[in-house]
Amino acid sequence: MHTSLAKKLYTLRHNQQLKQQTVAQLAGITQATLSRIESGLTKNPSLIKLQKLARIFGVSVDFLLEEHPNCPRGHLSQRAEVLIEYYSRCSEETQECIDNIVHTLVRHELHTK
């Protein structure tokens, strides 16, 4: 059985008795953004947001996204590391635009196969 990202974040925050506003400030995001992630309205937050949230709660991004605990994820390629570095330098607004573009391209790729 898999637990959704939204439920994991909500549970982690409540277990540590933290308010959304506090976690949002620590992560450098708005309280509204955190609320959308925790409620499941934002299903695919950016990697940078996930990394910040994972650090706050002392868990890995893999744990937050994990659907199948026995299926390990591979290491990132050098190209992916460079892209993440560029991405991390972008504003939250630009990151959201990039996220939307990538999701659109992936959906297109899946539908053309």
pLDDT in tens, 90-101: 888 998 898 889
Integer-rounded Cα radius of gyration of the chain: 15
The Cα–Cα gap between 49 and 45 comes to: 6
The Cα–Cα gap between 59 and 87 comes to: 22
Q: Which two tokens stand for residue 110?
A: 């899946």
pLDDT exceeds 60 at position 23: yes
What confidence score (pLDDT) does residue 67 get? 63
Within a 10 A sphere around the Cβ of 50, how many other Cβ atoms? 20
Q: How far is CA 102 from CA 70, 72, 99, in A?
A: 27, 23, 5
What confidence score (pLDDT) does residue 102 get? 83
- Which domains are delineated in the chain? 5-111 (1.10.260.40)
pLDDT in tens, 29-59: 999 999 999 999 998 899 999 999 988 988 8
Q: Are 40 and 4 in contact (CB under 8 A)?
A: yes
